[in-house]
Amino acid sequence: MNFIKRAIKNVTRKPSKSVLLILTFFLIGNLVIIGLGVSNAAESAKILTRQKMRAVVTYKIDYDKINQYVMQLTDEDEINKFYENYPRVKLADVALLLQDERVKTANAVNTNMWYSDRENSLDFVHLNNQAEENMGQNGQSCWYDENNVEHCEIYKEPYFLIKGNMFPSMIEFEDGEYQIVSGRFYTQQEIDNADMVCLVSENLAALNGITIGDTINLANSNYSTWMEEFGATQEDLENSFEVIGIFSHNNPINPDAPNFNYMYPYQNPDNMIFMPSTAEYMAQLTLSQKEWDHYSQMYPEESYYSEDKRPSMENMEENLYIENVTLLLDDPMNVEPFVEEHQNSLSQFTSLDANNEEFNKLAKPLDTLSIYANFIVWLVLINAIVIITLVTALTLKTREYEIGVLLSVGASKLKVIGQFFIELAIVAVIGFTLSIVSGSLIAKSLGNKVLEYQIASSDINENGNGGLYYPYDGFDPWSTDYSTDITLDDLISEYEVKISPLIIAEIYVLGLGIVFISVIIPSFMIMRYNPKKILMNQN
Amino acid sequence: MSAILELENLNYSYIDGGYERQILQDLSYSFEEKQFYTILGPSGSGKTTLLSLVAGLDTPKSGRILFEGKDITEIGLHKYRRNDISIVFQQYNLISYLTALENVLLAMSETDNELPKDRKNVAYNLLERFGIVSSKADRLVNQLSGGEQQRVAIARSLASNVNLIFADEPTGNLDTATEKEIIGIFKDLAHEYGKTIIVVTHSDSVSSMSDQRVLLKDGKLTKL
């Protein structure tokens, strides 16, 4: 321990040298703290904002890849053949992705608008707005028969929005936007069996006196005279569904919303009905088959009407045409690693999207700030190592005699290096400790100013991806975009330069690292000689 | 009297201007314990080189150095310097930011030899024995005169309780009166305290006070 005492004596008995070194470390410390503080604030702001976003990954068709592929095709038949077998997302791929324990659930959703049965046995939840008053008076739907004669009927708006999923849970339910208040969600077995089961809202249930285990009757279309063409009947449209769950939701209707009066019943979340996609498909199968049979006779030469294309439960996936599947992960921070890991194991012309394009765009000023700050840290560290090494080398050169003396009295090289390390570490710790106070103050004001400048000089739309048309506040019944909208303000509000204990620890570790390198190099340069040579150099 | 230090066929050379310069050539000699030796020789004869080799500060090209019958490379040069010998330099080689007392304590702190528990008092007494009173012992060494600094260096050489002390031109920077005083100390150390003192010098007045005078010439030692 005597080498420690000697180190302390050297520092205290050579005050001018020690003060100069403290000042050097103080300046280095300030620059490193500014760099680390600003960089950490930028990274933390990004992480905190990312954590607020939904952890969703979208599995979808990669149109860019398709375009690239088609562009290089020259044979027209080949191009036509490609379009006939247009790529689609594969549920088998999703099943594999679901095996990853980070995946909580997946939404492979198909949406339809349905009616009550002809008896109107199921009333919808009323909004009592202008749109409802005008229902049935808004227009006509027209069709042409085989003799090209036009037939028109009054168009009747649907009441219910049907959301089917291929998996036994949904993102909306997993993250609490919808909650089951009674009963349960449908199971994988019910999906596989295409069981006619459904979940209704508590308001719809209350209005119609529905309890768990009751059945409701729905029609997947409004009966039209054009259906007579292919022999469809009203019965073909209607199905009974057992209510297995009742849910509530966090999408209250705002009657003051600008588009409230233009909202139809099916746009009301209370009139949303969840069921397995298979049940939804099954309910429409009779009508689809009759229609297909009719048109396949009319257009037998069309490839669409080849026998294998006749709607059935076997070719359901092909006929449902699911454009994308959204996966909900356990943690937003897992999104990017998940995408990176699975991107290359998917079917051709499909891809995973981390839904972070908007986030990355908004985070650009923070990224730039972080890059500059990290650059400063590295620049300062490299310069610090060079400067302190040179200063130490010069100092040790004047102390060669001391090294020679210490070695001649039998002190080990390790103890000699240890003494020099402690001497420099003492002044470094004092310098860095002082710099923590000043550095954190400078980092705060400088970091905010640079960020303001970065934002001012970038061309970011501060409203994020807003501006889309929604019938009323926030709720888009058809949307399959489950990513969270964020704005630049969200990011900025999370940006705060704080000198955390971790940064302080980093400063000391980096500082002691600099000291170690700065001591070891010149010490080695001197002590590679034997003690006689060292003493002779001094003499 | 038995030999404390034996040199067997020592050879040492170095390259100077492209030519090999032989400094020591098959040098053999035996130093007996409790004697005060001076090694004389003309400038450039290799006196300091010889001292560096026997003090374990450098290694010979060939040959052996035996301390109390053991090869010093087997003891380990580091350990040998720490526990078996002390060196007094012409330039004193004290550590400037330490006091006289702390310089003496430095040698005590490095040795593995058994020392009294109250090291501080022992160090004060040692210094006082060589004329450094306690008020001076607590001064930084660069506040002392040359003669005082050399006394501190001698006190430090004794502090680690070794039996073999080397000195390289210990009076080279001192006036005649102080020179006599320092050599008197060395003589006392040999005769009263049983230490073996080997002093390298070019001064006849110093060598005239030693028990044994040895001449280094043409790479060999000859007893005068």
Contacts of A231 (CB under 8 A, 6+ apart): A290, A294
Residues A28 and A167 in one domain: no
Q: How much is the average pLDDT of A66-79?
A: 87
* Separation of alpha carbons B195 and B189, rounded Å: 6
A 10 A CB-CB count for A296 gives 16
Query: pLDDT for A352-379, tens place per residue?
Result: 988 777 777 777 777 887 888 888 888 8
A90 domain-assigned = no
Q: Which phi and psi (to 5°) does residue A268 adopt? A: -90, 120
Residue A466: pLDDT band (50, 70, 90) is very low
Using an 8 Å Cβ cutoff, are A498 and A523 in contact?
A: no
pLDDT of residue A463: 43
Which of residues A289, A321, A353 is at a domain's end? A321
Q: Which of A408, A412, A535 is the best residue to mutate to test the B interface, defined by the most B CB atoms within 10 Å of its own CB? A: A408
pLDDT of residue B59: 92
Most confident of A329-338, A498-507, B171-180: A329-338
Residues A119 and A11 in one domain: no
Residues A368 and A287 in one domain: no
pLDDT of residue A462: 45
Q: Return the minimum-mean-pLDDT range out of A283-287, A478-482, B145-149.
A: A478-482
A345 domain-assigned = no
Residue A476: pLDDT band (50, 70, 90) is low
Interface of B with A in 91-110 (CB under 8 A): 91, 93-98, 102, 105-107, 109-110
Residues A171 and A48 in one domain: no
Burial-class residue B60 by CB neighbours within 10 Å (0-12, 13-18, 19+): buried
Q: List the single residue in B with minimal CA-CA distance to A13.
A: B97
Q: Is residue B193's pLDDT more than 70?
A: yes
pLDDT of residue A426: 94
How large a percentage of chain B has pLDDT more than 70? 100
Domain count, chain A: 2
Q: Are residues B52 and A532, on separate chains, in Cβ contact within 8 Å?
A: yes
* Separation of alpha carbons A245 and A197, rounded Å: 9
pLDDT of residue A196: 96
Q: Return the minimum-mean-pLDDT range out of A211-225, A389-403, B8-22.
A: A389-403
**Strand pairing report for A103-107 and A272-276:** unpaired
pLDDT of residue B39: 93
Q: Are residues A539 and B58, on separate chains, in Cβ contact within 8 Å?
A: no
Q: Are residues A410 and B55, on separate chains, in Cβ contact within 8 Å?
A: no
A398 touches chain B (CB under 8 A): no
Concatenated DSSP letters of A360-382: HHHTHHHHHHHHHHHHHHHHHHH
Please name the fold of domain B33-57+77-223.
Answer: Rossmann fold (3.40.50)
A 10 A CB-CB count for B117 gives 7
Which of residues A298, A321, A344 is at a domain's end? A321
Residue A485: pLDDT band (50, 70, 90) is low
Using an 8 Å Cβ cutoff, are A227 and A95 in contact?
A: no
Residue A538: pLDDT band (50, 70, 90) is low
pLDDT of residue A35: 83
Query: pLDDT for A131-187, tens place per residue?
Result: 888 877 767 777 777 777 787 777 788 899 999 999 999 998 988 889 999 999 999
Q: Is residue A474's pLDDT more than 60?
A: no
A47 domain-assigned = yes
Residues A292 and A370 in one domain: no
Residues A522 and A398 in one domain: yes
pLDDT of residue B26: 92
Note down the domain range covering A288: 109-125+158-321
Distance from CA of B167 to the nearest CA of A (A): 13
DSSP letter at B11 equals: E
A152 domain-assigned = no
Q: Is residue B216's pLDDT more than 50?
A: yes
pLDDT of residue A318: 79
Report which of B102, B99, B180 is spatially closest to residue B147, judged by C-alpha positions.
Answer: B180
Average pLDDT, chain A: 84
Q: Is residue A390's pLDDT more than 80?
A: yes
Q: Is residue A317's pLDDT more than 90?
A: no
Interface of A with B in 3-42 (CB under 8 A): 6, 9-10, 13-14
A335 domain-assigned = no
pLDDT of residue A464: 39
Structure-block tokens of residue B172: 């080279």
pLDDT of residue A457: 65
Q: Are residues B93 and A412, on separate chains, in Cβ contact within 8 Å?
A: no
Q: Is residue A99's pLDDT more than 60?
A: yes
Q: Is residue B97's pLDDT more than 60?
A: yes
How many CA atoms within 13 Å lie on the side-chain side of B8? 11
A82 domain-assigned = no
A405 domain-assigned = yes
B157 touches chain A (CB under 8 A): no
**Strand pairing report for A215-219 and A350-353:** unpaired
pLDDT of residue A467: 34
Using an 8 Å Cβ cutoff, are A283 and A110 in contact?
A: no
* Separation of alpha carbons A420 and B139, rounded Å: 23
Report which of A216, A109, A125 is spatially closest to residue A172, judged by C-alpha positions.
Answer: A109
pLDDT of residue A481: 66
Residues A440 and A501 in one domain: yes
Residues A170 and A47 in one domain: no
ipTM of the modeled complex: 0.86
Which of residues A306, A321, A336 is at a domain's end? A321
Query: pLDDT for A192-224, tens place per residue?
Result: 999 999 999 999 999 999 999 999 999 988 878
The residue ranking higher by pLDDT, A360 or B214, is B214
Instruction: Give all strands (DSSP E) within chain B, no chain letters.
Output: 3-16, 19-32, 36-40, 62-67, 70-71, 85-88, 164-168, 196-200, 212-217, 220-223
Residues A282 and A380 in one domain: no
A435 domain-assigned = yes
Q: Is residue A450's pLDDT more than 80?
A: no
A 10 A CB-CB count for B215 gives 17
How large a percentage of chain A has pLDDT more than 90? 26
pLDDT of residue A365: 77
Q: Is residue A420's pLDDT more than 50?
A: yes
Residues A379 and A276 in one domain: no
Instruction: Give strand pairing partners of B19.
Output: B16
Residues A229 and A367 in one domain: no
Q: Is residue A465's pLDDT more than 60?
A: no
Q: Taking each helix axis as running N to C, give the angle between helix A364-397 and helix A501-527, from 0 to 180 degrees, rounded to the nearest 10.
A: 30
